[in-house]
Structure 1
Amino acid sequence: MSDGEGAPGNDGGQFDRLPATADDREVDGRATRAEVLEWWETRFGVPPETFADHTFWEKGKGKVWAFAADLPSPQDREGVGMTFLRTRQEHWKPTTTAVRKWGHLATRNVIDLSPGEATAFAAGHDQDLPEWDGDWGYLIAAHDLAGERVPIGVGLYLYDELRSVVPKGYQEELPEL
């Protein structure tokens, strides 16, 4: 598929491996592996080596998947690994699946919720939380469970409000914490 001017374009019907760097980019707007790793480190403090054994793939416009192996590119499949990150929008957004898998490694932009707040968040409820003094935007919402910080999902923090963006299929009623 091309963009009409001969340059390769995005093909929403196949998975294409993300290019390593901007110099390797063939499709305009496609994120690079280097950008993805830098974003996770800058936004959440997750070290790039965390993903050393993973390849990253785009299917559609900006839907990035992580795969714990290597495959030739492109791949004509329905899925490769797990959804990981949404790019090609003003603010990149990690997926709930990725946050639940790697969010425990985050050292920045994690909002620790009380038991009641965690229960409301997991059920998909937005809540006023003016006490957060960190960055606005997409955060990792977490709570303490048996002495360990456990990520619940992705929240969007704007104007003293934490919005739960936990997908309906992931929403749950937590037991009394």
Structure 2
Amino acid sequence: MTTIYDFTLPALEGGDINLADYRGRPVLIVNTASKCGFTPQYEGLQALWYQFRSMGLVVIGVPSNDFGAQEPGTSAEIASFCHRNYGVSFPMAARSPVKGPQTIPLFRWLDKECGFLARPRWNFYKYLTNRTGQPVAWFSSVTAPTSDRVTKAVERVILNP
């Protein structure tokens, strides 16, 4: 059975993010963009990461230029923007396609596992996996990372080893 831990992402600042390193931990994957109306959600993602990382949660941003060309920058520009404006300290992947024929394997798998309705239709779709690496919830762009829906889902996967 495939799990989130079977994937590797290119890291924003070089090297790779090997998701196997997070085996046994819940993971929240988010497709992000720097020039989007939802970009302030970086602040909420950072708050969620800060609140729950000591309990095992991993937040990973995956910048994408697929929606409205709202992530046009280089890796260095994206990293600088995220750190400077939102204090992002959670892992960030390099800019990657999350829809269409060039979709990265992780998002192909999320599409297969979560279904058509969960397919990202804009920036800041969120995908939560449990400690066994299986998707348990997804949230659209309009659902803030610090909303009750997201925080309660995170609490459920943290409390259910």
Flag whether TM exceeds 0.5 (same fold): no
Q: Larger relative contact order (C-alpha < 8 A, sep ≥ 6)?
A: 2
State the TM-score, normalizing by the size of structure 1: 0.24
State the TM-score, normalizing by the size of structure 2: 0.26
Bigger strand fraction: 1
Bigger helix fraction: 2
